[in-house]
Structure 1
Amino acid sequence: MQSKLFFLLFLMLACMFTNPKHSAAQSNVFIENAERAEGVIIDGENVRKLLGSVVLRTEEMTMLADSAYQFIDRNRIHAFNIQIETEDETIWADTLFYNTLIDFSQFRGRVIIESATNTVFSEMVDVSTPLDLAVFQSPVRFEDETGALLAESGIYYQDADSAIFRGNVQLSDTTQYLEADSLFMNRSKDLYELHSRVYADDFDQKVTFSGNYLYADSTGYRLLTGNDAWLMEVNESETDTTHLLAKKIELQETDSSSLMDAYQQVRVWSPEFSAIADTVNYDDAKELFTLKGNPIVWQKNIQLTGPYIEATLDDSDIRFLKSHPRPIAVQEDTATGRLNQMTGDTLHAYFDAGDLDSLVVFENSEIIFHQKNDAGEPDGLMEMMAAGSSTMLFENGEFDYFKAITNIDGTYIPENEGGADRTLDNFQWNPDLKPKRPRIQTPRLPEIPRDPFFELPPRYVQYIKEREEDSGDSRINN
Structure 2
Amino acid sequence: MGRDKRERATHSRFLFLAFLILLCPALSRDVRAQTNQPPPAAEKEVISIDRADELRMLQRGKTQVLVGNVELSQDSIFMYGDSVLLEGEQQVYAYDNVTIQQGDSLTAFCDILDYNAATLLADLRGNVVLTRGETELYTQRLDYDLATKTATYHTGGRIVNQETELSSRHGYYYADAREVYFRDSVVVVDERFEMRADTLKYDLLNEIVYFLGPTVIRTDTHRIYCESGFYDVANDVAIFSKNAQYKSGTRLAAADTIKYFGEREVYVLEGNAYVADGDNQRATGDKINYFRRDDRYVIEGNAYVRDSLQTVTGDTIDYNALISTYSVAGGRPRVSAPPMIVEADKLNSDPVSGFTTARGNVIYQDTSAQLTIEAENARYNEATGYLKATGGLRGRPLMTTVLENDTLWVAADTLLSYRSDSVNAGGDTIRYLAAYKDVRILKSDLQAVCDSLGFNTVDSVLTLYQNPVLWQDTSQMTGDTIAILFDGEELDRVQLRRNALVLTGPDLLFYNQVKGKDIVAIFDSSGLVRTDVNGNAEAVYYIQDKVGAYVGVNKTACSAMSLNFENGSVRKIRFLDAPSGKMDPMGAVNHQSIRVEGFRWEERRRPLRLEDLFSVLKREAPPVIDDEAPLIEEK
Q: TM-score range by the shorter chain?
A: 0.7 to 0.9
Q: Unmatched 5+ residue regions in structure 2?
A: 20-160, 165-189, 425-429, 612-635
User: What are the residue-to-residue correspondences of 1:66-77 with 2, within 5 Å?
Assistant: 66-77=227-238
TM-score, normalised via structure 2 length: 0.60
- Number of aligned positions between the proteins: 428
Separation of aligned partners in 2, 1:23 and 1:277: 83
Contact 1:189 1:218 (8 Å CA) reproduced: no
In 2: Cα distance, 1:125 partner to 1:240 partner: 44
Q: Which residue of 1 aligns with 2:363?
A: 199
**In the alignment, which of 250, 254, 266 is matched to residue 88 of structure 1?**
250
1:288 has 2:461 as partner: yes
Distance 1:405 1:135, change over 3 A: closer
Secondary structure of the 1:228 match is coil
SS in 1 for 2:344: strand
Identify which of 542, 548, 556 aligns with 1:370.
Answer: 542
Alignment map for 1:97-246 (pairs within 5 Å): 97-117=259-279, 118-142=281-305, 149-167=312-330, 168-172=332-336, 175=339, 177-184=341-348, 193-211=357-375, 212-226=377-391, 227-235=395-403, 239-246=405-412
Corresponding residue for 1:55? 216
Moved more, 241-250 or 427-436: 241-250
Instruction: Work out the CA distance in 1 between the residues paired with 2:517 and 2:369.
Output: 38
Aligned partner letter, 2:240: A
DSSP 3-state at the match of 1:14: helix
Task: Report the alpha carbon displacement of residue 332 of structure 1 after superposing the two structures with TM.
Answer: 0.5
Alignment deviations for residues 105-130 of structure 1 (CA, whole Å, 9 cap, x no partner): 22222312234325432222212222
Unpaired stretches in structure 1, ≥5 consecutive residues:
440-478
* CA distance, structure 2, for counterparts of residue 180 and residue 204 of structure 1: 20
Per-residue displacement from partner, 1:344-370 (whole Å, max 9, x unpaired)? 222222334453222233333322222
Q: Does 1:390 align with 2:561?
A: yes
1:166 Cα deviation from its structure 2 partner: 1.7
- Cα-Cα RMSD: 3.4
Deviations 1:317-337 (A, max 9, x none): 332222232221111034x73
Counterpart of 1:469 in structure 2 is none
Amino acid at match of 1:178: V
CA contact (8 A) 2:217 2:224 kept: yes
Measured after TM superposition, the shift of residue 172 of structure 1 is 4.9
Q: Return the structure number with greater relative CO, CA threshold 8 A, min gap 6.
A: 1
Using the TM superposition, name which of 156-165 and 400-409 deviates more. 400-409
Per-residue CA distance 1:289-327 (angstroms, 9 max, x = gap): 221111111111111111111222223333222223222
More off after superposition, 151-160 vs 183-192: 183-192
Shift of 1:250: 1.9
Q: 2-side partners of 1:369 and 1:39: how far apart?
A: 103
Q: Per the alignment, in what secondary structure is the counterpart of residue 327 of structure 1?
A: strand
- Closer/same/farther in 2, CA of residues 262 and 10 from structure 1, 3 Å limit: farther
The DSSP-based 3-state class of the residue aligned with 1:410 is: strand
Q: Which residue of 2 aligns with 1:16?
A: 14
**Residue 221 of structure 1: how far off its partner (Å):** 3.8
In structure 2, the CA distance between the partners of 1:55 and 1:375, relative to structure 1 (3 Å rule), is closer
Following TM superposition, by how much is the alpha carbon of 1:223 offset from its aligned partner in structure 2, in angstroms? Answer: 3.7
Which residue identity is paired with 1:244? V
For 1:324, the equivalent position in structure 2 comes to 497
Supply the distance in 2 between the matched residues of 1:112 and 1:23 (Cα, whole angstroms): 37
The corresponding residue for 1:39 is: 203
State the shift of 1:11 in Å. Answer: 6.6
Report the CA distance between 1:153 and its aligned residue.
0.4
Contact 1:344–1:363 (CA under 8 A) maintained in structure 2: yes
TM-score, length basis structure 1: 0.78
Does the CA contact (< 8 Å) of 1:356 and 1:397 recur in 2? Answer: yes
Deviations 1:406-457 (A, max 9, x none): 5644254433346344422201111222223548xxxxxxxxxxxxxxxxxx
Q: Alignment partner for residue 423 of structure 2, among 255, 264, 284? A: 255
Instruction: Specify whether residues 46 and 221 from structure 1 end up closer, same or farther in structure 2 by C-alpha distance, changes over 3 A only.
Output: same
Assess if the C-alpha contact under 8 Å between 2:385 and 2:417 holds in 1: no
Structure 1 residues 24 and 202 mapped into 2: Cα distance closer, same or farther (>3 Å)?
farther
**151-160 vs 173-182, greater mean Cα deviation:** 173-182
What is the CA-CA distance between 1:276 and the residue it aligns to? Answer: 1.5
In structure 2, distance between residues paired with 1:329 and 1:54: 83
Residues 217-275 of structure 1, C-alpha deviation per residue, up to 9 Å, x if partnerless? 2334444443432333334xx63343322222223254323332222222223333222
Deviation at 1:157, TM superposition (A): 1.5
